[in-house]
Chain A
Amino acid sequence: MLPNNEVRVPLPRAAAQSSAPRDITAQFTEAASKLQVGQLVKDESFTLFEAVGALEIMDSKMDSGYIAPGEDHAEALEIKYDSRQDLTAEEVVGLMDQLLCHEMAWHMGHPLSQTLFTSIYIDKLLWPTPKTIEEAQFDRAPSENRIVELVLRAYCLALLKACDYVHARVASEYYYEEEDFVTQLYNRNLLSGIDSSHFYRLLDQAIDWVENQDTIRSDFKDAIRSRLCLRREFLASVDQDLEILETHSTESFKLCLNHLASVADTVTLGKPVPEAFSLKLQRKLASTVPPRPIVHIKQEDALEQMRRLCQDAIDMQQMLDYRGPSNFKAAVWTLVSRKPQPSVYIRSLLQALIISDSSILGTVPVRKYLYDDLAELVLPASMLLRANLDDVELPSDPRFRIAQVMDSFVKRFAQPFVDTIRSACLNRCRVRRTVCHTVVDWDNLQMEAEEIDMQLQGISAEPALQVQGGDTTFSYPLSSWTYHQKLLQLRLILQMGFELSIYAPEELPGIYWYLSHLCSTHLGHLDRIRTFTVAARKRDLVSGGNDAAKSAAYHRSFLHLERLTTHIIAIDAFAIALHALYVLLARHEVLPCAAGPRAYSSDKLRYELRMKPFLPISLPELVPFEEFRREATLEGDSDTTVLDRASKAITEARKAWEATLANGAFIEDVACSSTTKSAPLAIEEDWRREIKDTMRACIGTSIAIETVRKAIMGAASLSSRQEKLSLDVVIPEIGSKARWHDWWVVPQISPGTMSLATG
């Protein structure tokens, strides 16, 4: 189906007027009657699949223009509501609040045709399309009623202009149509051609007028004023949303919050005017979809939506100071992981801030961002990253050639690297899906990085390092870095699977095993990186190149490796503990099962399906099913061994999570760690809360392990091994209280009641 393109609209009309039509009813009817039942005459390129999508005319469910028999034609089309009639103050407040609900419903992802465009006031302002602010009147003529003409009109116009900015922001970033947002405008224009200064002027006039009215009760005056002020500040916020990069100020959004509070206090004053909204307006909209009902959201939900939008925008300011790539990424990730997820406008704005004018946060060139990340992980104070800065033009100088090679690396890697953080701003399902796709690209990138590494080895005459067993090897910094990115992504695929509730309970033992398997691979990789960094540092010290800048770079890199290691150990240990716990539950057949006993599915098929994103990856290789099965079921280990494994791991996990929490969300720079230590910021608070929730999940797991231990011991002493353990196991759903953390599914285990009665 064709999208509604504004340009397209006048064309057929002109054609319709130009050529004289010929009546072919008789010939057509006769020809059609000769066709056999079921025979079609159709365009070759036209498929039946497409035909299914056609809207059926005269069908009330499909045809938005359908007027039921008996319905008065004039009534059905012409809205009888007079948009210039006088309104009471309480009606004006009520209308404003209704419109805000519709605006926020649109922000939440509902189409305009079911929200704002069902308002008769909005329709009258936008159609026929006004070219100037003066033309934007209800019914194209000023109303004699001042409260309508000055107050309600200013409110509506400013609301539409704010929608225009939001629409433009979202449409220019990555988002998913109809999943996140509907950009469809139905051949209407959100006043995009009219300068914002007019809207501020009208709002100011309206505010002035309200102040000077003696006939309006003072509480209504306040209510109307706060709503107009909210519109003014919200318009200013979205009008200049990118200026935050220069000003670092979120003043407008903060003022929005203040006005929003007063609006919330006076919501009860308003009197809704339901007759000012009509579904019939859909009959006038250019729309290729069937008619759909008006969306009604609760007033408190609308206010909360806007409040969160403003708060998220305010908190975003805290990540604008660039303090190295890992801090930047941690801040972005924490922000987009908020529950509920920040609105599509916020996620679009965030993307615009992350990368604008091919620089990060408007200040850091993409190359520097990439280099900083390389320096943090694998190449502190390395000549490879400095070569470009030295401006060597002598082709025989190795630095000249290094600079060339590094240039080609940046060209190839900068975009995918920036995209990894940008795609974190998508909706949560899409984040996981996108990573499933991009991880394959990163697998290829790793091979390319390896080739670049080998070139650089030759040019820079890197000395080989002797590793255990007597072999010598090189550092391969770029491919090590790439491999690290890939391991992060693979882990994210698994962990977001928990968050998105895609695993059946019977899969949980296996997935937690795989998670721990990935973690131990990752830990081994970090060890390798550390070994080479230590060796490079030693060489540096021997050659006497020990300046302060170098020391700081090495310090930061070691610190970064240390923090990563601690974090991954924590994940690893927790995954091992949950794996062991789930193995026991599965072994004693008390783990709930989603598949019925006769289901076609099997463990092998399920594994194949689940691990599809891992299958094309060459390193790390997908664990073959047989090996996975043995490992994931802890084949051969007795219950006692598995129990001990679980207890030991969970103790270690708790310690490691505590250490992670103590490390904090961000790496503090050595130089300014004491001076800039201010009150913890909102993003950091979110991060801490997340770690604390994980620790709560750890405690829950400890308790669950002990419950299972008691049950197993009890069963052993009764020597009734053939019977099932008397345990009730519940897997807490996402969002339920017992699900302490989205990524950690801790089973709720209680001693069973049934077998107590029988035993």
Chain B
Amino acid sequence: MDTEKAVSYLSGLLGRTLRIHASDGRMFVGLFKCTDADRNIILANSFEYRMPSASTVQEAAAKETESWDETQVKATRVKVNMSSRLIGLIVVPGHHITKIELE
């Protein structure tokens, strides 16, 4: 991929919703606004999603005991418990990014 292609690929993503996973386990979902050679990413209107904490998972799991099943518990976790909040315009430093997803 040469620079020109790289720029056009990245430009194509502008304005689209990205999910950026950070090294501390949080995920940020927002509109892609800007990036640079260090892969620093600016997102607008972003939301922070945090994996549920151990105790809330336990609670949720306890409620789901009827259908106790390895696979279903995994599914339940994300659905019920991921807590989110609006944090607006953010920049995620490139070295803290573990995964980038496109919606």
Chain A residues near B (Cβ < 8 Å): 1-2, 4, 8-9, 12-13, 15-16, 19, 21-25, 27-43, 46, 50-51, 53-58, 64-67, 73-74, 77-78, 187, 284-288
Identify which of B1, B23, B48, B99 contacts A30 (C-beta below 8 A).
B1
A118 to chain B, nearest CB (A): 16
Q: How far is the CA of A1 from the CA of B87 in the complex (A)?
A: 10
On chain B, the residues within 8 Å of A40 by CB distance are: 34-36
B68 to chain A, nearest CB (A): 23
Q: A12 and B88: CB pair below 8 A?
A: no
Q: How far is the CA of A24 from the CA of B16 in the complex (A)?
A: 13
Closest to A6 in B: B86
Closest 7 CB pairs of A and B: A288-B88, A34-B6, A21-B101, A42-B34, A31-B6, A286-B86, A35-B37
A-B contact pairs, 25 of them (CB 8 A): A2-B88, A4-B86, A24-B13, A25-B101, A28-B13, A29-B39, A30-B6, A31-B7, A31-B10, A33-B6, A35-B36, A36-B3, A36-B37, A40-B35, A41-B14, A42-B34, A43-B33, A55-B87, A55-B88, A57-B26, A57-B90, A78-B56, A187-B85, A287-B87, A288-B86
Q: How far is the CA of A50 from the CA of B35 in the complex (A)?
A: 14
On chain B, the residues within 8 Å of A54 by CB distance are: 42, 89-91
Q: A33 and B85: CB pair below 8 A?
A: no
Closest to B45 in A: A2
Per-position contact with A for B34-71: 1 when CB-CB < 8 Å, else 0? 11111100101101111001111000000000000000
On chain B, the residues within 8 Å of A66 by CB distance are: 24
Q: A27 and B14: CB pair below 8 A?
A: no
Q: How far is the CA of A74 from the CA of B25 in the complex (A)?
A: 13
Identify which of B14, B29, B86, B93 contacts A57 (C-beta below 8 A).
B93
Q: How far is the CA of A41 from the CA of B24 in the complex (A)?
A: 26
Count of B interface residues, CB-CB < 8 Å: 57
On chain B, the residues within 8 Å of A31 by CB distance are: 1, 5-7, 9-10
Q: How far is the CA of A54 from the CA of B43 in the complex (A)?
A: 8
Interface centre among B36, B44, B96 (most CB of A within 10 A): B36
Q: How far is the CA of A24 from the CA of B2 in the complex (A)?
A: 18
Interface assignment of B73: CB less than 8 Å from any CB of chain A: no
Q: How far is the CA of A50 from the CA of B90 in the complex (A)?
A: 11
Identify which of B19, B53, B89 contacts A1 (C-beta below 8 A).
B89
Q: B36 and A58: CB pair below 8 A?
A: no
Q: How far is the CA of A65 from the CA of B48 in the complex (A)?
A: 8
On chain B, the residues within 8 Å of A19 by CB distance are: 103
Q: How far is the CA of A55 from the CA of B50 in the complex (A)?
A: 17
- Given A35-B37, A36-B37, A41-B14: A286 in contact with B6 (beta carbons within 8 A): no
Interface assignment of B84: CB less than 8 Å from any CB of chain A: yes
Identify which of B14, B15, B87, B89 contacts A286 (C-beta below 8 A).
B87
- Given A41-B10, A41-B14: A77 in contact with B89 (beta carbons within 8 A): no
Q: A28 and B55: CB pair below 8 A?
A: no
On chain A, the residues within 8 Å of B14 by CB distance are: 41-43
B63 to chain A, nearest CB (A): 14
Q: B50 and A35: CB pair below 8 A?
A: no
On chain B, the residues within 8 Å of A187 by CB distance are: 85-86
- Given A55-B90, A288-B88: A15 in contact with B39 (beta carbons within 8 A): no
On chain B, the residues within 8 Å of A2 by CB distance are: 44-45, 86, 88-89
Q: A34 and B3: CB pair below 8 A?
A: yes
Closest to A56 in B: B91
B57 to chain A, nearest CB (A): 11
Closest to A65 in B: B48
Q: How far is the CA of A613 from the CA of B25 in the complex (A)?
A: 55
Q: How far is the CA of A57 from the CA of B93 in the complex (A)?
A: 7
- Given A43-B33, A67-B24, A74-B55: A9 in contact with B86 (beta carbons within 8 A): yes
B9 to chain A, nearest CB (A): 5
Q: B36 and A12: CB pair below 8 A?
A: no
Q: How far is the CA of A65 from the CA of B28 in the complex (A)?
A: 11
Closest to B99 in A: A25
- Given A74-B54, A78-B53: A55 in contact with B89 (beta carbons within 8 A): yes
Q: A23 and B89: CB pair below 8 A?
A: no
Q: B34 and A43: CB pair below 8 A?
A: yes
Chain B residues near A (Cβ < 8 Å): 1-3, 5-7, 9-11, 13-15, 17, 19, 22-24, 26, 28-30, 33-39, 42, 44-45, 47-50, 53-56, 83-94, 96, 99-103
On chain B, the residues within 8 Å of A57 by CB distance are: 22, 26, 28, 90-93, 96
> Can you add 6 more A-B contacts, CB < 8 Å, to A13-B47, A32-B94?
A28-B100, A34-B6, A35-B6, A54-B90, A54-B91, A187-B86
Q: B53 and A35: CB pair below 8 A?
A: no
Q: A41 and B23: CB pair below 8 A?
A: no
Q: A42 and B100: CB pair below 8 A?
A: no
Q: How far is the CA of A77 from the CA of B45 in the complex (A)?
A: 23
On chain A, the residues within 8 Å of B94 by CB distance are: 32
Closest to B3 in A: A34
On chain A, the residues within 8 Å of B29 by CB distance are: 12, 16
Q: B93 and A58: CB pair below 8 A?
A: yes
- Given A42-B34, A54-B91, A65-B50: A28 in contact with B39 (beta carbons within 8 A): yes
On chain B, the residues within 8 Å of A65 by CB distance are: 26, 48, 50, 87
Q: A16 and B2: CB pair below 8 A?
A: no
Interface centre among B7, B24, B28 (most CB of A within 10 A): B24
Q: How far is the CA of A56 from the CA of B40 in the complex (A)?
A: 10
On chain B, the residues within 8 Å of A9 by CB distance are: 86
Identify which of B7, B13, B37 contacts A33 (C-beta below 8 A).
B37
Q: How far is the CA of A39 from the CA of B30 in the complex (A)?
A: 22
Q: How far is the CA of A43 from the CA of B13 in the complex (A)?
A: 10
Identify which of B13, B48, B91, B92 contacts A51 (C-beta below 8 A).
B91
- Given A28-B39, A54-B42: A12 in contact with B17 (beta carbons within 8 A): yes
On chain B, the residues within 8 Å of A58 by CB distance are: 22-24, 92-93, 96
On chain A, the residues within 8 Å of B7 by CB distance are: 31, 34-35, 41
Q: B100 and A15: CB pair below 8 A?
A: no
Q: A15 and B17: CB pair below 8 A?
A: yes
Q: How far is the CA of A42 from the CA of B15 in the complex (A)?
A: 9
Q: A32 and B89: CB pair below 8 A?
A: no
On chain A, the residues within 8 Å of B9 by CB distance are: 27, 31
Interface centre among A4, A28, A54 (most CB of B within 10 A): A28
Q: A12 and B45: CB pair below 8 A?
A: yes
Q: A32 and B85: CB pair below 8 A?
A: no
Q: B6 and A55: CB pair below 8 A?
A: no
On chain A, the residues within 8 Å of B30 by CB distance are: 12
Q: A56 and B90: CB pair below 8 A?
A: yes
Q: B37 and A39: CB pair below 8 A?
A: yes
On chain B, the residues within 8 Å of A21 by CB distance are: 19, 101-103
Q: How far is the CA of A109 from the CA of B94 in the complex (A)?
A: 37
B87 to chain A, nearest CB (A): 6
Q: B11 and A41: CB pair below 8 A?
A: yes
Q: How far is the CA of A56 from the CA of B5 in the complex (A)?
A: 28
B39 to chain A, nearest CB (A): 4
Q: How far is the CA of A127 from the CA of B34 in the complex (A)?
A: 34
A285 to chain B, nearest CB (A): 7
A82 to chain B, nearest CB (A): 13
On chain A, the residues within 8 Å of B10 by CB distance are: 28, 31-32, 35, 41
Closest to B34 in A: A42
Q: How far is the CA of A24 from the CA of B92 in the complex (A)?
A: 16
On chain B, the residues within 8 Å of A33 by CB distance are: 6, 37, 39
Q: B86 and A8: CB pair below 8 A?
A: yes
Q: B34 and A46: CB pair below 8 A?
A: yes
